Structure formats: structure tokens, C-alpha cells
């Protein structure tokens, strides 16, 4: 029987009027012969779906939906394949990700010699002239490659690139590795003053910079060494990659200046080149100008929305800069880096909160998460407003009391299951007890926390299939069901961007965003999950990717 919710009566009346007025009228898209998992608890399964003017107008059997077909209707016979709401990634650095697609990538190097050879070959292949800056990503820190706790030195890069300044970022973006020429161009020498919230690493014997910059110290290189970027070109690459993986919406965190990102998205939308919905975050430095302009979180339309103020409270486990209550097990004496004093964090969150901005606080270490929750709680007490859906990004390590505070404060845990390594790594870095307080999905869910899944791309793979596999397999005591893995990659991430009213589930009246997969994730053995591919990605009833 054709399913149309009573609350969506407008769309029923709309389609009735259209089809009664003219024989030529029809819906824009129908998908038939499918297993549609709607993520709508009231009506979880359908066989076919119809989209008109970008929105879902009906779900039902194939026979029912096929009656809505006209001469201009695009028809997709799904052949019994699984259809889901389009995946929504709640935390990407999409401009950075597109940029990474143009840079040298030395990750995966098994030896120093291989790393140097790959860098040399890339320079030759791209015909990089002397003096041109080289940006990219490298596999550090790595005890296996570089010994100790894994930090490399400038001399390794100098052997290959004495005539080009080189800046390599670690995968998580919390440290740079520079060669000598890059250090020189950045003005970093013996005795250079440290940056608050960051670290220039100096050799303990010589006092010379080693080439490693952590956290805010990276800004010295970023400001000094040219890195020209064609914003539109790199975002076009990013959205094509995202669409091919089944993503229909993303949150963009501001490693690139928010206003420049907004201008790029608006230009692409005007040219009808935008094929993914965006929720655009901003840096704290932009908050005053946003307030002056009268902006607030959720402004915008279905394609471009104003997102959160992204606040970096700490670094990462990999860079040994996550802000922890206790030192790292493999680096005694180091409890990470808190990038804000407590009172400064509280003031920033209060200011954003008072001006109707959601905050998304990067908190990886357990102490960083506590301070983030404390700041949100204080802001809510002052104003009484609990509707902004503030977020903790990553939320990697928790103390147990904090796992109950998320739901109490209405805070969303925006988490990336693919970036925290295996159990051996976690125990080496954190010790046995703390290693079991990493990615506490089940504990948080049992305490009624709203979860939102994401990748932190390009920190890790952008593929939702990779993330879903980790969610249902990796942590025995924390793993979730496939239904929950899907729900929080669609509905949960939509909720985190204040947009669950029009996406995240397949219901009449919502946006026609969906993905057709090669396998039924709900029934296949877990070992087959990673063999699942995207056959179609559909945004607003338009096919934006077809395999």
C-alpha cells in the first residue's frame, strides 16, 4: 500500500493536483524493484520511491510507484539492491581533502629509503622546478621508520630536496615536518620563540630546530611558505570523490578560511556545479565578523548552510598532543597540549552560544573533552538555551562520568571510528585501562547520546563503508548493530547539522537524497561489508554518480 504520512499531506495534494491537471505531468525520478531501508522507524522498508522537484512524494510498491511515471521520468530499476538515505559525513576538511589529491603523498612508505625515492620520483614526474615549495603528507610519527617515539628530522628531506622548501603534514594535520630550506623561509632558527598552544621541536643537544612543528607552531610555516590553491578546482575534485562514495551531504570544518570557502560554494551553486549539500564551519577568528553580519548557525538553504564555530581544544594521539589527565604511556612526562586556558575556552563558547552559534569543539584527550563539556554547561547555565546542539568532535578518550554528560547537556558526539588505530597501538600509547576508554560508542548510546559519524577526511578514508565496517566489528565491548551504524551516518549526522527535518531518513516531504549499494548491508556477513560498492548516488532526485 502506498505510504504517505498524514503530516505530509501537502505533498499528497501537490502530486494529486499535478497528475489530474495534465497527462504530461510526472515525477522526476522513480526507483523501483529495490529494498529501501528508510531509517524511518514508522515505515522502515519500502520497494519503490518517487521524487518530484527534489523531494520525496511517495514510497510504496513498485506497481504503485510506476503509475507516477511519465515521458520525462528517469527510472532506475534497482534489481533488488539496497537503497539507503544518502550518507551524511559530519566532519570533513573537504577543501583540504581536495588539495591533498593534488599533493605528494608519502604515506605507506615502509622504509626511509622508500620514502625518499617516492619523493624524488614525484618531483621528477611533476617536473617541479628548484625553489618551488612542495606540500604533502607523510607517515610520521612512526617508531618503525624513525625510532624512539617516531619523529623524523629535516636531514632526511634535505638529502632529496635541498633546493625546494618541503612541508609535509602528518595525516591528522597536527604536526608539520619541514626540511632545512623550509625552516629558513619560515624564519625558524635556534632560539626562535615558541607559539602558545604549539611547539617548535629543538634538538636537545644542539638546540637547532629538528624540522617538526606541532599544533599552532604550524602557522609559522603556513604563513611564510606559498601554497597557491584553486579553491573551485579542489572542491570539484572533493565533491566528485565524495559522491562516488555515496555521500550526499558533508560538514566542512574550517582548515580553509570559511569566507573563502563560502564564496567558492556560492559560485559553484550559481553555475549549477554543486552536487553535495554543505554545512560550512568557521574558525573562532571569524566569529566577530559573523556576529556583525547578523549570521547564525543554520542560516542558508538546502545546499549551503552556516555551520558551527570549530574550536581546537587539543591535538591528537598520533602527534602526542591530545590533552590528557595523565601522561602518555609511551611518552612519560607528556600529557599533551591544551590549546586554550580554561577561562578563555569558556569565554569563547559563551560568546558563540549567546549569538546563536553552535560550537564544534575538537576534543581528543579525556581532559580536553571534560573542559569542552564544562564550557558548554557553563554557557547553558548562563543563557538557559539548550537548543544549539553543541558538538564534541572526535571525542576519542573519555572518563566515565563524561559519557553521561553528553545527553544531559544535549551535546552530540561527532566521532570518527576509523582513526584511532588497533588495540596494540592504543595500549602502547595509553596503557591498558585507558585503551578501553577509546571510542565508547555503545556506552554513549546507552546513555542516550546522539551520535554522528564522520571520517575527518583527508585524515582517513572518506568511505562510509570503511567506517561502518569498523563500527560493527572493531570494538567487541563497544560495537554497534548495522542498523545503528546506518542510522547515525544518516539521521544522526543530519541531526548534528540541524537538518533532520529534511534529510537523514527517506520520508515523504524530505529531500530525495539516496544511495544504491551493490550489497545488502543488513544481511551480508560482516567479512563482506568492505566489498560493498556504490552503484548510484542521488541528490534531490538527480543522479550525481553512477558506477
Q: Which residue ranges form the domains of the chain, and what is each CATH number?
A: 1-85+505-547 (2.30.40.10), 95-224 (3.10.310.70), 229-503 (3.20.20.140)
Q: What is the full DSSP assignment across 319-360?
A: TT-S--SS-BTTBTT-----SS-HHHHHHHHHHHHHTT--EE
Measured CA angle at 134 (ends 128, 135), to 5 deg = 140
Tell me what the pLDDT averaged over the chain comes to: 93
User: Among 535, 515, 532, which residue's Cα sits nearest to residue 524?
Assistant: 532
Nearest to 174 by CA among 342, 331, 365, 309: 365
Closest CA to 427 of 436, 419, 416, 418: 436
Provide the terminal-to-terminal Cα distance of the chain, rounded to the nearest Å: 31
CA distances for 430 relative to 19, 49, 320, angstroms: 63, 48, 10
DSSP string of 171-227, one letter each residue: TTSSEEEE-HHHHHHHT--TTPPPPTTEEEEE-TTT--EEEEEEETTHHHHHHHS--
Q: What is the pLDDT of residues 454-469, one digit of tens each?
A: 999 988 899 999 999 9
Cα–Cα distance measured from residue 221 to residue 224, given in angstroms and rounded to the nearest whole number:
5
Classify residue 223 by its DSSP letter.
H
Cα separation, 347 vs 352, in Å, equals 9
HEC assignment per residue over 262-308: HHHHHHHHHCCCCCCEEEEEECHHHHHHHHHCCCCCCCECCCEEEEE
**What pLDDT does residue 365 have?**
97
- Provide the β-strand partners of residue 52: 55
User: From its phi and psi, is residue 532 left (phi > 0), alpha (psi between -120 and 50) or beta?
Assistant: beta
Q: Is the Cα dihedral 274, 275, 278, 283 positive or negative? A: negative
Q: Considering only CA atoms, which of 188, 176, 180 is closest in space to residue 212?
A: 176
Structure-block grid coordinates of residue 525: 556477513
DSSP 487: H
* pLDDT tens per residue across span 38-97: 999 999 999 999 999 999 999 999 999 999 999 999 999 999 999 999 999 999 999 989
Find how far residue 418's CA is from the centre of its chain.
11
Q: What is the mean pLDDT of residues 326-332?
A: 96
- CA 237, 239, 243, 245 torsion: positive or negative? positive
Task: Look up cell 587539543; give the residue.
Answer: 314
Q: What angle do CA 473, 478, 483 make, to 5 degrees?
A: 65
Element (H, E) at 542: strand 542-546
Judged against a pLDDT cut of 80, whether residue 507 lies above it is answered with yes
Q: Band of the pLDDT at 14, cuts 50, 70, 90? A: very low
Per-residue pLDDT at 258: 52
**Residues 537 and 543 sit within 8 Å (Cβ to Cβ):** yes
Between CA 518 and CA 296 the distance in angstroms is 40
Better-scored residue on pLDDT, 373 or 384: 373
Q: What is the pLDDT of residue 18?
A: 46
430: its cell numbers: 595509553
User: Cell for 91?
Assistant: 566532519
Amino acid at each position: 500500500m502506498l505510504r504517505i504520512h498524514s503530516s505530509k499531506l501537502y505533498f499528497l495534494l501537490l502530486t494529486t493536483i499535478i497528475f489530474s491537471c495534465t497527462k504530461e505531468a510526472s515525477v522526476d525520478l522513480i526507483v523501483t524493484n529495490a529494498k529501501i531501508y528508510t531509517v524511518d522507524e514508522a515505515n522502515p522498508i519500502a520497494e519503490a520511491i518517487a521524487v518530484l522537484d527534489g523531494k520525496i512524494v511517495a514510497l510504496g510498491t513498485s506497481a504503485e510507484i510506476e503509475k507516477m511515471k511519465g515521458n520525462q521520468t528517469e527510472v532506475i530499476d534497482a534489481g533488488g539492491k539496497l537503497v539507503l538515505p544518502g550518507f551524511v559525513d559530519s566532519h570533513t576538511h573537504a577543501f583540504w581533502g581536495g588539495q591533498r589529491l593534488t599533493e605528494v603523498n608519502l604515506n605507506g612508505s615502509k622504509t626511509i629509503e622508500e620514502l625518499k625515492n617516492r619523493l624524488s620520483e614525484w618531483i621528477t614526474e611533476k617536473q617541479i622546478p628548484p625553489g618551488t615549495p612542495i606540500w604533502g603528507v607523510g607517515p610520521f610519527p612512526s617508531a618503525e621508520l624513525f625510532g624512539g617515539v617516531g619523529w623524523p628530522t629535516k636531514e632526511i628531506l634535505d638529502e632529496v630536496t635541498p633546493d625546494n622548501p618541503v612541508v609535509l603534514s602528518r595525516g591528522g594535520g597536527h604536526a608539520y615536518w619541514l626540511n632545512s630550506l623550509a625552516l629558513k623561509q619560515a624564519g625558524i632558527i635556534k632560539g626562535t620563540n615558541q607559539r602558545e598552544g604549539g611547539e617548535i621541536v629543538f634538538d636537545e643537544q644542539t638546540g637547532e630546530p629538528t624540522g617538526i612543528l606541532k599544533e599552532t607552531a604550524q602557522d609559522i610555516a603556513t604563513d611564510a611558505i606559498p601554497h597557491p590553491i584553486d579553491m573551485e578546482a579542489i572542491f570539484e575534485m572533493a565533491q566528485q570523490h565524495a559522491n562516488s562514495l555515496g555521500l550526499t551531504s558533508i560538514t566542512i570544518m574550517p582548515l580553509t578560511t570559511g569566507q573563502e570557502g563560502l564564496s567558492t560554494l556560492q559560485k559553484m551553486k550559481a553555475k549549477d556545479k554543486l552536487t553535495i549539500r554543505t554545512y560550512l564551519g568557521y574558525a573562532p577568528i571569524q566569529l566577530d565578523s559573523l556576529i556583525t553580519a547578523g549570521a547564525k548557525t543554520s542560516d542558508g538553504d538546502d545546499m549551503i548552510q552556516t555551520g558551527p564555530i570549530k574550536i581546537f581544544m587539543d591535538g591528537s594521539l598520533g602527534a602526542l598532543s591530545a590533552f590528557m589527565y595523565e601522561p602518555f604511556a609511551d611518552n612519560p612526562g607528556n600529557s599533551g597540549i591544551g590549546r586554550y586556558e580554561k577561562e578563555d575556552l569558556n569565554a569563547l563558547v559563551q560568546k558563540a552560544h549567546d549569538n546563536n552559534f553552535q560550537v564544534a569543539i575538537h576534543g581528543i584527550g579525556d581532559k580536553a573533552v571534560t573542559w569542552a563539556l564544562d564550557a558548554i554547561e557553563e554557557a547553558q547555565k548562563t543563557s538557559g538555551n539548550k537548543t544549539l546542539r553543541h558538538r564534541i568532535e572526535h571525542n576519542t578518550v573519555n572518563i566515565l562520568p563524561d559519557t553521561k554528560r553528553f545527553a544531559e547537556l544535549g551535546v552530540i558526539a561527532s566521532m570518527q571510528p576509523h582513526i584511532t588505530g588497533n588495540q596494540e597501538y592504543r595500549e602502547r600509547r595509553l596503557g591498558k585501562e585507558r585503551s578501553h576508554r577509546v571510542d565508547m560508542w555503545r556506552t554513549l548510546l546507552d546513555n542516550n547520546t546522539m551520535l554522528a559519524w564522520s571520517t575527518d577526511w583527508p585524515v582517513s578514508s572518506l568511505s562510509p563503508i570503511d567506517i561502518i565496517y569498523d563500527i560493527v566489528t572493531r570494538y567487541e565491548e563497544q560495537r554497534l548493530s548495522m542498523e545503528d551504524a546506518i542510522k547515525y551516518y544518516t539521521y544522526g549526522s543530519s541531526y548534528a547539522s540541524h537538518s533532520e527535518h529534511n534529510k537523514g531518513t527517506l520520508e515523504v516531504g524530505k529531500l530525495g537524497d539516496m544511495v544504491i549499494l551493490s550489497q545488502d548491508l543488513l544481511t551480508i556477513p560482516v567479512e563482506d561489508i568492505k566489498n560493498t560498492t556504490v552503484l548510484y548516488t542521488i541528490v534531490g532526485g538527480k543522479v550525481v554518480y553512477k558506477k
